[in-house]
């Protein structure tokens, strides 16, 4: 069988000189080891979490296209300040793409590997913007018969992140959630989980259009941070739901601090004795994204019982352990066409992913805009 | 016995109209219940943690003195913005003073209470800026024979806070500490504990004078945040010590974020593989004070494995439980004249504590400036 001997792979390189270069390279597909399989990748989403590696700190307003139609090259300037934060990856060509799905076309000699032959599988592990991916059999999640790679392409990052939020809530003793940038693909999944599991969820959005998206899928509590009554509206919903944990995709600016302040106001509405240190209720914001690159500003008008911190899926899964992790993955597969269905605005080939017009769209990280790469599109 | 039937007590009141009033009131001393004792308070420190309740959000530049020499009154204006945060205490006269020491002059009928008669005891529980304090016998810590009330006045807040820092370090899996405003009374105690227990401690100070204070007591790692080389100096010490936990008394401005950034730089110096999310090393800053009232600004150039949060002694002691708490208190008593010795710049009466010249000094919260109130001074 000659299929899959070589294939194209998308690479992102930032040079010491301050230049980002995104290009396609032809790669020899490795021979699978006994416990490995080779997958023909047919679908891999461009998640916000992929953009950091793909575009680095480059200023995409300076992007230039060169190369050929079959082998396009994108270059862009990386500002001095951004270059510093990229120190660890300079002059190293990086493969991109956290997750994807495809069909197993070759296997190693082990039974576990052989059992996957011809199966459609979902994968996690990086380097998915590639035509053929060799990986361990146990890094593949076989999809139910009839599931397409496009349906299974986003099995991991968004579904497990959303489930990670409700799991974190339970483990840290909270009883309701706040979520920002809440009309995102991830936010919609979180709403479906919370509706199904009976968890009160306060959705913070930045426009009426986003509020409408959530109302349409049945969200109960939606508040618009651009409304003049935002802080009062939010406090009201926090009193109603008792939410003391927020997951924030914005990162910069005042929003995280405003959430903590409103949580504190809500907690004090039921307090009986004055405490100069504020309420004893622990209020937590986990930041899992950076849609706003400005510094995070906390005015600390929320007592002393508070925390703000980074939250990432993989360290959370490590903490959770393999048994609990498997239960979450099983739930994703069971509800792949309902709770965890992803919607894409555009399906592109590897070459089209390097089209400046497409980059301009997905680099915006706009709510509702979501690209899927099919490395075999048109082949 | 007629001693202690009535006594003076310091009170702080913030009116809805935006006026702070500090005054002395004459109080009837309660008859002790069976499990209670009455203590003649002879020493109570003015800790930074007392100033929040004593002065509230008042602008002390507007302070005016009135009343008589025996019964002085201080009034000051509370700005509109500050008044909002004081909502919980408006028009309520508050007793002040977290901790103190004195001599038991009357007891209830229980054996535990009677055993304390004539003993010099340390106390915690508020309302210590008073001549006679009635409290439960088990809220008193008997001091070793020969200890003066002045020596025992600061047995709780600073010693247990300093021990709470090293305990938190152990419990959360860190191996070294960073401390800011590190030449404070508390900071000096922390240095003595860390030297004794072999814990590497990075001290951040804001002047050469403060660095000198610490060097004199044997501190090994001191860095001056006003030096142009501050960030490099701090990173160097973080690499050397491996400190990934900081306790910060400053609260506002950029310092907490700078500490996290330097911790991340230090962690990446030993990292082998590039991770777009930064190092996996969890970096934590606990904020336990607010010397800088400006907002806290975090530029998030420190990856995703980080946390910032409030830290308070009493919730920590609750978490610790009674057995561990007792061990810490026993250590304080054992090392009261060495590790946990407090130094005061001035001993004042209740009336003198209301002298505008003294208020101007202790309201500055300046490192090295520490007042002790003796409610029986001159009597």
A226-265 confidence digits (pLDDT tens): 999 999 999 999 999 999 999 999 999 999 999 999 999 9
- Domains of chain B: residue spans and CATH: 6-154+342-373 (3.90.180.10), 157-316 (3.40.50.720)
Report residue A205's pLDDT band, with 50, 70 and 90 as the boundaries. Answer: very high
| Interface size, chain A vs chain B, as Cβ–Cβ contacts under 8 Å | 93
Distance from CA of A251 to the nearest CA of B (A): 8
Return the pLDDT at B1.
46
Which site among A48, A255, A274, A292 would you substitute to test the B interface, given the most B Cβ atoms closer than 10 Å to its Cβ? Answer: A274
Beta-carbon separation of A305 and B295 below 8 A: no
The predicted model scores a pTM of 0.88
Report residue B2's pLDDT band, with 50, 70 and 90 as the boundaries. Answer: low
B80-115 confidence digits (pLDDT tens): 878 877 877 888 999 999 999 999 999 999 999 999
| Per-state percent for chain A, helix, strand, coil, to nearest 5 | 30, 30, 40
B307-361 confidence digits (pLDDT tens): 999 999 989 998 998 899 999 999 999 999 999 998 899 999 999 999 999 999 9
CA distances from A19 to A55, A77, A83, A89, A268 (A): 11, 5, 9, 12, 52
Q: How far is CA A224 from the centre of its chain?
A: 22
Q: Which of A271, A295, A304 sits opposite B312 (nearest CB)?
A: A304
Return the pLDDT at A1.
46
Tell me how far apart the alpha carbons of residues A16 and B106 are, in angstroms, rounded to a whole number: 77
A153 and A183 Cβ atoms separated by less than 8 Å: no
Beta-carbon separation of B295 and A92 below 8 A: no
Q: Are β-strands A221-224 and A201-205 bridged in parallel, bridged antiparallel, or unpaired? A: parallel
A105-114 confidence digits (pLDDT tens): 999 999 999 9
Tell me how far apart the alpha carbons of residues A260 and A244 are, in angstroms, rounded to a whole number: 8
Which site among B14, B47, B88, B275 would you substitute to test the A interface, given the most A Cβ atoms closer than 10 Å to its Cβ? Answer: B88
Tell me how far apart the alpha carbons of residues A273 and A283 are, in angstroms, rounded to a whole number: 19
Beta-carbon separation of A297 and B299 below 8 A: no
Return the pLDDT at A2.
65
Tell me how far apart the alpha carbons of residues B43 and B45 are, in angstroms, rounded to a whole number: 7
Closest-CA residue of chain B to A303: B310
B11-20 confidence digits (pLDDT tens): 999 999 999 9
ipTM value: 0.85
Closest Cα partner for A20 from A61, A77, A84, A71? A77
Residues 6+ apart with CB under 8 A from B288: A304, B161, B247, B248, B249, B310, B311, B312
A137-189 confidence digits (pLDDT tens): 988 999 999 999 999 999 999 999 999 999 999 999 999 999 999 999 899 99
Mean pLDDT (whole number) for A361-370: 81
Return the pLDDT at A84.
77
Closest Cα partner for B76 from B65, B85, B63? B63
Residues of B whose CB is below 8 A from A88:
268, 271, 274-275
A7-50 confidence digits (pLDDT tens): 999 999 999 999 999 999 999 999 999 999 999 999 999 998 89
Beta-carbon separation of A309 and B309 below 8 A: yes
Phi-psi sector, B74: left (phi>0), alpha (psi -120 to 50), beta: beta
Residue B119, pLDDT above cutoff 60: yes
Residues of B whose CB is below 8 A from A275:
88
Helix ranges (H only) for chain B are: 48-55, 80-85, 111-114, 149-152, 157-171, 185-197, 208-216, 230-241, 255-268, 313-320, 322-334, 350-353, 356-362
A354 phi/psi in degrees, rounded to 5: -100, 10
Distance from CA of B328 to the nearest CA of A (A): 23
CA A317, A114, A43, B274 dihedral sign is positive
B interface residues, A as partner, C-beta within 8 Å: 52-53, 85, 87-89, 92, 94, 251-252, 257, 268, 271, 274-277, 280, 287-288, 290, 295-301, 303-312, 315
Report residue B57's pLDDT band, with 50, 70 and 90 as the boundaries. Answer: confident
Distance from CA of A287 to the nearest CA of B (A): 8
CA A86, A89, A92, A96 dihedral sign is negative
B161-219 confidence digits (pLDDT tens): 999 999 999 999 999 999 999 999 899 999 999 999 999 999 999 999 999 999 999 99
Tell me how far apart the alpha carbons of residues B357 and B189 are, in angstroms, rounded to a whole number: 28
Report residue A277's pLDDT band, with 50, 70 and 90 as the boundaries. Answer: confident
Beta-carbon separation of B312 and A295 below 8 A: no
The residue count of chain A comes to: 379
Closest-CA residue of chain B to A85: B301
Residues of A whose CB is below 8 A from B300:
251-252, 287, 290, 295-296
């Amino acid at each position: 069988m000659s299929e899959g001997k070589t294939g194209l792979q998308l690479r992102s390189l930032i040079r010491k000189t301050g230049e980002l270069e995104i290009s396609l390279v032809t790669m020899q597909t490795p021979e699978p080891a006994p416990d490995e399989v080779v997958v023909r990748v047919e679908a891999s989403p461009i998640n916000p979490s992929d953009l950091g590696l793909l575009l680095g700190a480059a200023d995409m307003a300076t992007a230039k296209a060169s190369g050929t139609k079959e082998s396009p090259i994108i270059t862009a300037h990386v500002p001095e300040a951004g270059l510093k934060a990229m120190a660890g990856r300079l002059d190293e060509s990086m493969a991109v793409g956290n997750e994807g799905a495809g069909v197993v076309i070759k296997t190693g000699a082990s039974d576990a590997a052989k059992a996957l032959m011809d199966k459609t599988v979902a994968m996690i592990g990086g380097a998915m913007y590639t035509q053929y991916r060799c990986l361990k059999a146990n890094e593949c999640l076989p999809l139910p018969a009839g599931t397409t790679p496009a349906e299974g392409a986003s099995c991991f990052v968004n579904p497990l992140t959303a489930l990670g939020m409700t799991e974190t809530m339970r483990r840290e003793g909270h009883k309701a959630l706040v979520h920002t940038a809440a009309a995102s693909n991830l936010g919609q999944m979180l709403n479906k989980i919370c509706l199904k599991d009976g968890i009160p969820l306060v959705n913070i959005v930045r426009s009426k259009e986003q509020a409408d998206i959530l109302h349409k899928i049945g969200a109960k509590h939606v508040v618009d941070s651009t409304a003049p009554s935002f802080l009062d509206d939010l406090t009201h919903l926090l009193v109603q739901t008792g939410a003391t944990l927020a997951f924030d995709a914005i990162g910069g600016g005042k929003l995280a601090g405003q959430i903590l302040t409103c949580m504190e106001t809500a907690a004090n509405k039921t307090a009986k004795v004055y405490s100069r240190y504020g309420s004893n209720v622990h209020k937590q914001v986990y930041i899992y994204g950076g849609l706003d690159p400005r510094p995070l500003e906390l005015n600390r008008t929320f007592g002393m019982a508070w925390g703000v911190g980074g939250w990432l899926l993989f360290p959370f899964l490590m903490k959770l352990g393999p048994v609990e992790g498997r239960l979450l993955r099983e739930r994703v597969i069971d509800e792949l066409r309902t709770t965890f269905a992803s919607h894409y605005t555009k399906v592109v080939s590897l070459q089209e992913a390097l089209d400046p017009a497409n980059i301009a769209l997905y680099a915006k990280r706009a709510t509702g805009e979501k690209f899927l790469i099919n490395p075999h599109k048109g082949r």
